[in-house]
Every structure is written in C-alpha cells, then in structure tokens.
Amino acid sequence: MALGAALGAGVTAHAVPGLLGIPWIRAAVSSRMTGVGDGGRIALTFDDGPNPASTPRFVETLNASGVRATFFMLGCMVARAPALTRSIVESGHEVALHGWSHHNLMLRGPRATYADLNRARSVLAELTGQVPRFFRPPHGLFSSSALLAARRLDLTPVLWTCFGQDWTPQTTPESILGRLRPGLNGGATILLHDSAGSRAPDAWKSTLDALPRVLDECARRGLRVGPLRDHVLPANA
Ligand SMILES: [Zn+2]
C-alpha cells in the first residue's frame, strides 16, 4: 500500500506523523511501515546524515551510553564523508537508506526513483560492507515508484511512530522532549535528525542536548533502546 497514495500529494513532509493519528490513515499504513516492534524495545533512528559537523557528536553520546541506533543516510552525504560513515558502522550502529539526495520522491518518475535508491544503496554497501535493510524516503513521503524500487532492492519501508520535530529554528531540547514523551512506549520508533537542514542549521544542537534526556526517560520506563534491526516486526504486517 502506498502511504503517498493514501495521503495525497499535497501533504507536507512533517505533517505525516500527525496524520497517523487519524484512524483511517493509520489503518492504511501497516505497522511494518511505521517500525512498530515488541513491547520492551524502542527503536532510535536518525535522518539526514552523515554530517561531519554534527553526526560525530551523536555517535559519541550514543557510544558513551552504550546505545546503538539506526542512521538513515543520504548517499550524497555518505560520498562526502566515507570515513565517518565507516566509523558509524564500526561503532555498531546500523546504516539505512534515506535516498541519494533529499528530493521529494512524489515528484520523481519510476526510473529516477530507482536510480536514486540504487545509487545510495550501492555506495553504502560498498563503503561499509553492510547492506542497508530499511528505507525511509525524504519527508516521509512514499510514492508507488518508491515502494516498487524498495521492493526490487530488497529494502523494507519504515516510517516512525514518534518524532521530536527537531527541524525548526524554534526547536529546543525541551520542545523535543515534550513532543516525544507521549510516544515513548514499547514498540515505538523514534525519529530525530543528526544533521540539520538550511532552514535551521543549528537545530541539531538541541537534538544533541535532548538525546541523553530521551535515553534517561526510556530507561526510566524500562525500555531498551536500540536500532531497527533489533525491533521485532510483526510477521504479517
Ligand atoms: Zn530527511
């Protein structure tokens, strides 16, 4: 099923998680696509890196806490930071695919979409020796072409169940925590960003400050934080 088709082309990128609260839309999106796992775990995912200016700080914090995460990377960023990409994998984190560039795939045709995903998947696999298993499209917007390309490339489409809205200039560690708190439950998938966009170039600093507090909150709730690969996805989803 195509999330993009269900939601329509006019939906803005980050409206998607909110819309997942609407029953008919939630029903149209399988739990596999939102990354729902078992009750004792929570998956931690980061989008838009790797960025040499910010990603190493996230990896450092995660490593110091003994927590592994999944990084949905852009191929164009990976190509510019091969050593950083390798170090993320060497630290035990999982690499996943966010596309080659941060284009809205709803605006791309089947050939361009496949080429984008294939190029990014290849560079990640060649550099790290780890073949990405999961795919999350830029802006969380799936097109039917993207779903088809993902299937051909043996990639599992995944979105998220809660997010920190950490991409705006107004973002603070408190706003991120406030956004996430209601969703920090067993089986959830957290979306944060380890690299900021041009709209809010310093937003990642708030995400970084919020990270230890997010991990503490998960620990307080008895949740084991880890990468998506450790999430137990429903077999029939
Ligand atoms: Zn993104």
- The per-residue pLDDT for range 41-96, each reduced to its tens digit, is 999 999 999 999 999 999 999 999 999 999 999 999 999 999 999 999 999 999 99
Which residue range forms the structural domain that includes residue 77?
A: 37-226
Residues having C-beta closer than 5 Å to ion ligand 1: 47-48, 138
Q: Is residue 205 in some structural domain?
A: yes
The two tokens of residue 156 are: 């599992």
Q: Is residue 2 in some structural domain?
A: no
Q: Is residue 86 in some structural domain?
A: yes
Query: What's the CATH number where 204 sits?
Result: 3.20.20.370
Closest-CA residue to 138 (of 172, 107, 169, 170): 107
Q: What is the pLDDT of residue 9?
A: 31
Q: Is residue 231 in some structural domain?
A: no
Q: What is the pLDDT of residue 137?
A: 94
Q: What is the pLDDT of residue 21?
A: 45
Q: Is residue 5 in some structural domain?
A: no
Closest-CA residue to 41 (of 187, 160, 159): 187
- Pairwise CA distance, residues 76 & 74, whole Å: 5
Q: What is the pLDDT of residue 45?
A: 97
Q: What is the pLDDT of residue 11?
A: 37
Residue numbers in the chain where pLDDT is lower than 50? 1-28, 235-237
CA–centroid distance, 33 to ligand 1, in Å, is: 16
CA–centroid distance, 139 to ligand 1, in Å, is: 5
- Which DSSP category does 223 fall into? P
Closest-CA residue to 157 (of 11, 23, 4, 26): 4
Q: What is the pLDDT of residue 15?
A: 41
Report how many domains make up the chain: 1
